[in-house]
């Protein structure tokens, strides 16, 4: 699980550099599945990262496993 999270985080960092963090402005999307995965998203209106529940599939790039990942990608 930790390796998957690390891969996902590196993927997001690379994607952020290439898209200038456009996905940080997207609203949180739980997706169509019904898993319960506490996650973080960046809220541009408050310039902060907040918790939401991810359903486990679908969604968008404004989704992080930890607050630290969210802040490192979207708050800089």
Side-chain half-sphere of 19: how many Cα atoms within 13 Å?
A: 16
pLDDT value of position 70 = 97
Higher per-residue pLDDT: 31 or 7: 31
The listed CATH number (3.30.499.10, 3.40.50.360, 3.40.50.300, 4.10.410.10) that belongs to domain 2-74: 4.10.410.10
pTM of the model: 0.73
What is the domain partition of the chain in residue ranges? 2-74
pLDDT in tens, 15-66: 666 555 789 999 999 999 999 999 999 999 999 999 999 999 999 999 999 9
How far apart, in Å, are the Cα atoms of 40 and each of 44, 54? 13, 9
pLDDT value of position 1 = 61
pLDDT value of position 20 = 55
- 68 vs 31: CA distance, rounded Å: 22
Beta-carbon contacts of residue 9 (< 8 Å; ≥ 6 apart): 64, 65, 69
Counting beta carbons within 10 angstroms of the beta carbon of residue 72, is it exposed (0 to 12), middle (13 to 18) or buried (19 or more)? middle
């Amino acid at each position: 699980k930790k390796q998957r999270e690390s891969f996902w985080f590196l993927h997001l960092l690379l994607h952020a550099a290439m898209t200038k963090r456009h996905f940080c402005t997207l609203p949180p999307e739980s997706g169509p599945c019904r898993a319960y995965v506490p996650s973080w998203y960046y809220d541009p209106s408050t310039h902060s990262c907040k918790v939401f529940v991810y359903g486990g599939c679908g969604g968008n790039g404004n989704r992080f496993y930890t607050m630290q990942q969210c802040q490192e990608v979207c708050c800089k």
